[in-house]
Chains A and B, each alone.
Chain A
Amino acid sequence: MERVPVKALCLALAALSLNAAPLPAALTAHLKEAALVHVDFTQTRTLAALSRPLKASGSLVLARDLGVIWALRKPVALTYVMGPKGLLVVDSEGRRSHRAAREAPVVAQMGKVFGSLIQGDWKALDEYFTVTGSGTPEQWQVVLAPKAQTASFLKRVQLNGGRFIQRISILEAAGDRMDLMFEHQRVDAPLTEAEARLLAQD
């Protein structure tokens, strides 16, 4: 039984393309391959059921081999840590809940995909998407068109960027969409002690 929250997966994949080399390679070859990236994000969800879009913001830490820290600040303070050990969620009062990779294989799979993407291995996307690109290295656009199964609930994923990735839009089949804007990339800024502890998940 496949239990892939594909939206989450492609969100993570897309987020990781910040410093990976998305196809076509020529467009994004200048994206520096970094072991560690800090970046702030703003997320906007536009849903048919909502009279106004829901905005959220926070910051993201991508660390090769270690995993991802998705720290949401607004509207709720919650930190998600996804890595080879599993999924750790820490709420605003420091309460932690952990799901081991063994119990949540999808999370573990996501962790693996992160790893391969950080190392510029785009083949991992082939299974889910057809990847096309356009523009110049200064202003490029990459479109991920979902294959077979994924298409039932995902229409398209679009990435825009220049020197860095700037925007990811995820369009769902039902007409809902999610836009992620990135700013303040800091490449190779060292992990703080707190971040290192979170990534260690212990």
Chain B
Amino acid sequence: MRLRAWLWILVLAVLAGLGGQRLARGGALQTDLLAMLPETEQNAVAERGVRVLSQATGDRAIFLVGGPGATLAPGRHFAQSLTASGAFASVLGTLPPVDPTLIFRFYAEHRFRLPHPSPGATVAAVRAAVETRLTAPMGSALGPEADPLGHVARFMDGLPLNSLRLEIQEGMLTLRSGDALYVLVTANLKGSAYDPAVQRVSLAAVRAAETALRAAEPRAELLRARPEVLRTGALFYAADARESAEWETGIIGWGSLAAIVALFLAVFRSARHLLLGLACVGAGLIAATAVTLLVFGKIYLLTLVCGSSMLGVAVDYPLLYFANQLGAGPAWNPRAALARLMPALLLGVVTTLLGYACLGVAPFPGLRQMAVFSMAGLAASFLTVLLVLPDALGRPLPERPRLMAALDRAGLAWLALGRRPAFRVALVLATLLAAAALLRLRVDDDVKSLIQPSGTLRTQEARIRELTGFSNSGRFFLVEGADEGAVLAREEALRARLEPLLRLGALEAVQAVSAFVPSPARQEEALRASRAEAPLLAQALTQVGFRPGAVARQGEELAAQRPLTVAAFLKTPFAGPFRMFWLGATVHGCGAMVYPVGACPSAQLREAAAGLPGVALVDKAQSVSGLLGHYRGLANGALALACVLVWLMLLWRYGLRSGTAILLPSLLGILAALAGLALVGSPLTLFNTIALVLVLGFGVDYAVFLAEGGRQSAPALLGVLLASFATLLSYGLLAFSHTPALRGFGLTLGLGVLAATLLAPFVPAPKAQP
């Protein structure tokens, strides 16, 4: 072998080493499909809010244990098993004892600053208010001195502490629905929900706890319905997505590999050629993975899944070369053959790279990675063909005259069929019908079509949402202002606007820090009112029978009132679930999130908040869907651009007539794919548009190979047929994926490539321009 072949192998080895080193360090495989999505918010503070929310819900697994007629026992056992497993950072089944008076005492210290209705303008009215307070059957945990007018109790009634429909029984958070009883168990993961090691350990612990639950069930319980374990959390979705993707990569990847191996052996009858073909593909995969890791530091699962389909493309170049060798017979000269093939191969590679490069134009991390991955892999495969294969293919292949003859006959028969008027009429009709079918094509940019978790997980999440009112819609109002006071005041204005939605039931609750900490303006207003009411209160307390010392203490406490601050609230233990809503100091001053709970449409929320300064609704799912739509538009533009660029390149080489004819099978392939989508009822998504870009690349490749090789040349026909078949086997198999995005991709590509392959032989032989 020559030096340059060795050098190239050395480059590949270095790449493999670097990539392997990165993979060995761990955490390089990114299974969070949503992480592929670009940042949608122009406002960095909003992105921070999105991250805070997804972390808060992402690092937790939530279970509801119980069912119709269940007791608390299964929930307690389940929580104990999870704790004992040591697989979780913490498991919350039984609540730690919290002093229930703590929250009352916290507000009692600031009671004169809490917004309150006027107790009345006369001593008699204030006295009645004090007496009502002292005699009410629902006292609070506070003594009458700490809250003589009930300001604290009234304020606390308005707190959104109980937006989840939970109650405490024997120290456990429980939930009743009809005769069904559930215990809520939450478990905090030891790491990221997307870390396969964390997934393995956590899921094993959950499975063991379920088994233990069934084993521990007393006989009497067996007569009733089995306790069920409902679950939700990013952990389960991520594990599900990973397992399904791994399975699909296995089936589709290995399946297509096996088919391609069989094809090689059947056609070339040479293990050497099989190994060389695989080496080209392997070189492509190694280079693709290593370059992606070096450029991005991480590799997305979806990139790998699509990458496993790269096999089909990467194998095209050795296939065409080997087909040429098979046709050459004893006169085989590897370098001369390569030189003859070069224009077609180069044109094919350049058009395909052009198509891939268009993917990388959109500022979409997932697409960019796929573009880099596929371009690097393709280039490496092509270089392997160029630099290594000529040295490795010195000896001619045994001739296959019968195969070649059969191909000749088939090619001629197909061309003869193409010359029949009836066939041409049918082709024109089919084209018109396909064009008409385009009218039925739907567009769908919903980000949810990217991910389709298993049906069980979705029903369980829906059940938990229905039972608890817990939902992670991922949307919130971002409230910003110059300082804490401004943010709280703006939150109050927003909450007042949302009040009608709460009354109508469109929203179940609105969670916000300002519900716990009134704005300084409102605190001052309440304090002024309290000062004005103080003389009346003193007289009323005296009339009721309070001792002079107790009356005087009210006045002292009023004088000593300190402002209620967010910092003080956040330090209390009951602030736990609400801490994440306070973003605090930001680049714009101060920020916070107001979290609406309920199924109210985003448009209605946005309308309610219209015109409020410093308030914006952030709806990640909607923003992402909007962005996907925007990129679909961009990708459509890129497709059109690629068509024009490829056309110009073909014109430059083949002239107007032939150049256009070579482009035609690809365009018809694109039309066929679109019509197929419309007929199946599958929507047009960003991913389908990407597939169309690839159809263009492949279609032009095949037409060029046939045109350059002479369309009646059996080796060229063999090469194209093998390449097309390999593509269908790899990319086309994605049509059977469970992930909607991949399924649409496979379907589009499969239909387009099939149509382009069938039409390519009809392209008349061009006269190459000098």
Contacts and interface: CB of A to CB of B under 8 A. Distances in A.
Interface of A: 1-8, 11-12, 43, 45, 47, 49-54, 56, 70, 72, 75-76, 78, 80, 82, 87, 99, 102-105, 107, 109, 127, 148-149, 152-153, 172, 174, 176
Q: Which 7 A-B pairs have the closest CB atoms?
A: A49-B550, A8-B138, A56-B135, A7-B139, A50-B545, A75-B131, A52-B545
A174 B131 contact: no
A54 B167 CA distance: 34
A53 B134 CA distance: 11
Given A70-B137, A82-B137, 17 more contacts: A1-B98, A1-B162, A1-B574, A3-B162, A5-B141, A6-B100, A12-B137, A47-B145, A49-B550, A54-B545, A76-B131, A78-B135, A103-B157, A103-B162, A127-B169, A174-B143, A176-B143
Given A76-B131, A109-B167, A127-B170, A5 B138 contact: yes
A12 B137 CA distance: 8
Contacts of B162: 1, 3, 103, 105
A47 B170 CA distance: 32
Q: Which of B97, B98, B143, B574 has the most CB atoms of chain A within a 10 A radius of its CB?
A: B143
Nearest to B101: A153
Nearest to B508: A102
Interface centre among B138, B156, B170, B574 (most CB of A within 10 A): B138
B768 interface: no
B545 A3 contact: no
A107 B168 CA distance: 13
Given A45-B135, A80-B138, A109-B167, A149 B546 contact: no
A54 B141 contact: no
A49 B541 CA distance: 10
Nearest to B127: A75
A80 B136 CA distance: 8
Contacts of A51: 545-547
A151 to B, nearest CB: 11
B128 A76 contact: yes
- Of A1, A45, A70, A153, chain B has the most CB atoms within 10 Å of the CB of A1
B525 to A, nearest CB: 23
Interface in B512-555: 544-547, 550
Given A54-B131, A76-B128, A102-B165, A3 B156 contact: yes
B547 A149 contact: no
Interface in B137-192: 137-141, 143-145, 156-157, 161-162, 165, 167-170
A4 B100 contact: yes
Contacts of A107: 138
Contacts of A1: 98, 103, 161-162, 574
A53 B167 CA distance: 36
B135 A99 contact: no
A109 B156 CA distance: 17
B99 interface: yes
Interface of B: 95, 97-101, 103, 128, 131-132, 134-141, 143-145, 156-157, 161-162, 165, 167-170, 544-547, 550, 574
Given A54-B544, A105-B162, A6 B98 contact: no
B156 to A, nearest CB: 7
Given A76-B128, A105-B162, A149 B139 contact: no
A36 B683 CA distance: 64
Contacts of B546: 49-51
A14 to B, nearest CB: 11
B137 A80 contact: yes
A7 B168 contact: no
A49 B135 contact: no
Given A5-B138, A105-B162, A127-B170, A78 B547 contact: no
Nearest to A109: B167
B157 A99 contact: yes
B135 A72 contact: yes
A102 B545 CA distance: 37
A87 B137 CA distance: 11
Nearest to B99: A152
A41 to B, nearest CB: 10
Given A54-B544, A75-B131, A102-B165, A49 B145 contact: yes
Contact of B139 (A5, A52, A103): A5
A50 B547 contact: yes
Contacts of B141: 5-7, 153
B289 to A, nearest CB: 50
Nearest to B164: A105
B138 A87 contact: yes
Contacts of B157: 99, 103-104
A24 B574 CA distance: 38
B173 to A, nearest CB: 10
Contacts of B131: 54, 56, 75-76
5 contacts: A8-B138, A56-B134, A76-B135, A153-B101, A174-B143
A4 B156 CA distance: 12
A76 to B, nearest CB: 5
A198 to B, nearest CB: 14
Nearest to B574: A1
Contact of A2 (B100, B138, B170): B100
Nearest to B131: A75
Given A51-B547, A103-B162, A152-B99, A75 B139 contact: no
A176 B136 CA distance: 16
Given A3-B103, A8-B138, A78 B132 contact: yes
Contacts of B99: 149, 152
Given A51-B546, A149-B97, A3 B138 contact: no
Nearest to A72: B135
Contact of A152 (B101, B128, B545): B101
B138 A105 contact: no
A77 B751 CA distance: 81
Contacts of B136: 8, 78, 80
B100 A3 contact: yes
Contacts of B161: 1, 3
Nearest to B140: A5
Nearest to A148: B97
A82 to B, nearest CB: 8
A34 B396 CA distance: 105
Nearest to A106: B138
A54 B137 contact: no
A43 to B, nearest CB: 6
Nearest to A87: B138
A25 B277 CA distance: 88
A149 B100 contact: yes
A82 B128 CA distance: 22
Contacts of A49: 143-145, 546-547, 550
A5 B104 CA distance: 10
A79 to B, nearest CB: 11
A49 B138 CA distance: 20
A149 to B, nearest CB: 6
Nearest to B176: A112
Contact of B544 (A50, A102, A176): A50
B99 to A, nearest CB: 6
A53 B138 CA distance: 19
A105 B159 CA distance: 13
Contacts of B156: 3
Contacts of A52: 545
B499 to A, nearest CB: 14
Nearest to A172: B143
A31 B607 CA distance: 60
